[in-house]
Structures are given as structure tokens and as C-alpha cells.
Amino acid sequence: MSNLDEIKKTIEPELKKFNIFLEESLKSSTPLLNKILKYVLKQKGKQIRPLFVLLSAKCHGEINENTYRAAAFIELLHTATLIHDDVVDDSDKRRGLFSLNALWKNKIAVLVGDYLLSKGMLLALENKDYQMLDTISETVKAMSEGEIYQMEKARRMDITEEDYYDIIRRKTASLISSCCVVGALSVNATESQVEKMRIFGTSAGIAFQIKDDIFDYQINNKTGKPAGNDIQEHKMTLPLIHLLKIIDKSERRNIIRKIKYHSDDVETRMSIINKVHENNCLVYAEQKMNDFVDEALSQLDEINNNEALTSLKNLVEFCINREK
């Protein structure tokens, strides 16, 4: 398995420049906002999305100011969505620290999320990066649609495997796809190269989300979330969808009833998790995840074999083999 630190080493100077650029973007003359933005920077995660931007750019040219702006916009958008997610989910922790809504309440947290999104948009507008703005605006639209579509399907409990792929293509994969597209655009890649990066990012993003969904059915996962969290929230993910597809009608009705009316009960959730394991549904989900990885990597065949390309492939490998 590829180590994330090793992947970062191939673009270490560029990553340092990006982090400086991001810090400069997160400054405000409003004292309270500036204090909160410094706290946001402390919550910095693995930076997988900026890595997709930087490596996609380096595969096709030299990383430049356009690339740093694109990576910053993506990171600002991603951070804004996480802040809003914490408000919606009433989460009090994020990456091992207290969430913004836990420290400063929902109203301020929502406003900070809005502020980050507007900062990203201004970065693009002030530098006339209209193609980047168009790409990322489409992503925000797709993410919102995907989230609402998932909520609708969760209420009705009638999601198919194709519905699932459609949801995660919008919710998760659209952002990874945007990372790869804006990275390629920032170094003036050809239309054909940009399209290949779009397909690469979409397929890699779907694989990334399937991996996340598999975690929910692993008892001793290291994500910090208890096993069965998705079941409790009535989220229909690939392991559960496959289970409901292969069992008989009466058993399917019984499991759906349990999810609808008893998902707060730990023993109920564990019984469903055990069913998923007994019927090899995680094996099925992993096979599908690997199919999407193969589809993603096939889009990189025409790129000259360089260090950035190797790191980009290793980043995909890291995403599907990570433990949290």
C-alpha cells in the first residue's frame, strides 16, 4: 500500500506553496472570523483533494499560480461542505477536534461555510478563471442534488444499485472529478486530456465512496464512527443494497422494517451487519470498487510515464486501501 507521505514527497515544494497560498486566502479583518479561520486551518485533513488537483496538473505540465488557485478553491469548497454537514448532522467532532458548530453554534458555523465558498468563488472571479468557476459551480449543484436525492430515497427505502451509483457520482465523485479537471485546465491540457481526467476522477471518486461505505460494516474500523452508523441514518449503501437484492422477499421486508423502526438499537444494527458479512456483500462491494479503480486507471494510459503519474496512481491506491 502506498504511503500518503511518500506521495506528497513528489510534490513537496508545490504542496508547501499551496499551503501558504491557502493560509493567505483564509485571512479576514473581522477578528472573530479570523480566529475561527485559524481554527479551521488546524483541522486540516489528509488534503487528498488538493493532491488530486496538483498531481493532475503536473501530469500535463508545470504547476503554476492557476493550479494553486484551483486547489485552494477546491479545498475551500470541501471545507465549507464539511462545516455544513456537521451542522446538518449535529456532529460535535471533526478530525479529532471540536466542530465549529460545537464551539460557536450553528448560525456562525453556517455563515463560516458560506464565507469559505464565497472566498473560493472570488479567487476564480478576480483572476478571470471562468472555466474553473463553471466546473466547480456545476460540482456544487451536483453535490446538492445528490444529497437531496439520497434523502428522498432513504425515506422510501427503494434504492437500486444504479440509483446508488448515481447518488455517489453526484455527491462524492463530482468533487474528485472537478479536482482532476481543474488541475488539467490550469496547465492548458488539451480538451481530450481534460475529458480523460474527468472520467478518471469520476471513477476514482466512486471507488473512494464505496470504500467509505464498506467501513460502516467493519466492526473494528478506525474511522472514529461506530459500525452501523449509515444503517442508523437510514443510508442505503452498496453492501446493504446488494444484501436486499439477493435475499428472499420475507427476509427483505424484515430487514427494511428493522431499519425503519429499530435502527437506534445496537443489537438490531449488528444483526444487519452480520447478515451483510454472511452473504459476502462486502466482497461484492470490494469487487465493484476495484472495477471502478480499473476504469479510472485506464484513462491514464496515454500520459507519459513520469513521477507525477506514478504518484497519482498511488493516490488512488491509497484511497481504496486506507484504514480511515
CATH of the domain at 23: 1.10.600.10
Query: pLDDT at position 128, please?
Result: 94
- C-alpha span between 279 and 267 (Å, rounded): 18
Query: pLDDT at position 223, please?
Result: 56
Task: Summarize pLDDT for 206-216 with one digit per residue, the tens.
Answer: 999 999 999 99
Residues forming beta bridges with residue 78, ordered by sequence position: none
E-strand spans in the chain? 93-94, 97-98
- C-alpha span between 193 and 170 (Å, rounded): 22
Q: How many domains does the chain have?
A: 1
Query: pLDDT at position 324, please?
Result: 74
| Lookup: cell for 212 | 467509505
- C-alpha span between 236 and 227 (Å, rounded): 14
Name the 3-class secondary structure at 229. helix
Mean pLDDT over 127-143 rounds to 95
Mean pLDDT over 195-221 rounds to 93
Query: pLDDT at position 222, please?
Result: 60
The band of 91, judged by pLDDT with boundaries at 50, 70 and 90, is confident
Mean pLDDT over 4-29 rounds to 93
Percentage of the chain beyond pLDDT 90 is 82
> Which is nearest to 185 in space by CA: 133, 140, 138, 121?
133
The band of 155, judged by pLDDT with boundaries at 50, 70 and 90, is confident
Query: pLDDT at position 153, please?
Result: 84
Flag whether pLDDT at 224 surpasses 80: no
Percentage of the chain beyond pLDDT 70 is 97
Query: pLDDT at position 1, please?
Result: 47
Mean pLDDT over 241-258 rounds to 95
Flag whether pLDDT at 13 surpasses 90: yes
pTM attached to this predicted model: 0.93
Mean pLDDT over 18-41 rounds to 93
From residue 117, give the alpha-carbon distance in Å to each of 112, 208, 235, 247: 9, 23, 27, 44
- C-alpha span between 33 and 120 (Å, rounded): 16
**Cα 183–chain centre separation:** 17
Domain containing residue 179: 4-321
